Amino acid sequence: MTDMIKEINLEARKLFARFNHPESGYKGCREAARYYGLLVGERYEVSNVVMGASYTDVYLCGYLRPFNSVLFDFEDEDGSAHDIYRDPKYNWFLKKKVSFD
């Protein structure tokens, strides 16, 4: 029972994005971050991550549009770094089994 509760709590952990790279990404991505008032160094709660083959969109709580992941560093609730690209919770390519048969 304790393991089950622990597992549920781990899944419920929040992810945060710190806006540390305002000059990264395409011009439109940078302009959108400025337009929506993202502040350098500010930490934003992430509501969703959509990872594609050549892009990663990050949805922040309170914002309707996604932002490019290159604008951010990612953190767990406690402020420790979190690599979303190596985490199967966010990177569906890590979940997928590929067969070349």
Residue 41 placed within a domain: yes
Residue 23 lies in a domain: yes
Average confidence (pLDDT) over 34-59: 95
72 in any annotated domain = yes
Which residues is 46 bridged to in the sheet? Answer: 60
Range of the domain at 45: 15-87
pTM over 0.95? The answer is: no
Output 18 or 101, whichever has higher pLDDT. 18
Task: With respect to residue 59, please indicate whether it lies within any of the assigned structural domains.
Answer: yes
Q: Is residue 51 part of a domain?
A: yes
Pull the structure tokens for residue 25: 């990404």
The alpha carbon dihedral of 17, 52, 62, 33 has a sign of positive
Give the amino acid at 52.
G
Encoding tokens for residue 42? 């500010």
Q: Is the predicted pLDDT of residue 57 greater than 90, yes or no?
A: yes
- Residues linked to residue 45 through DSSP beta bridges, in sequence order: 16
pLDDT band of 101, cuts 50, 70, 90: low
Does residue 62 belong to any structural domain of this protein? yes
Tell me the C-alpha distance between 51 and 41, whole Å.
23
60-88 pLDDT per residue, tens? 999 999 999 999 999 999 999 999 999 99
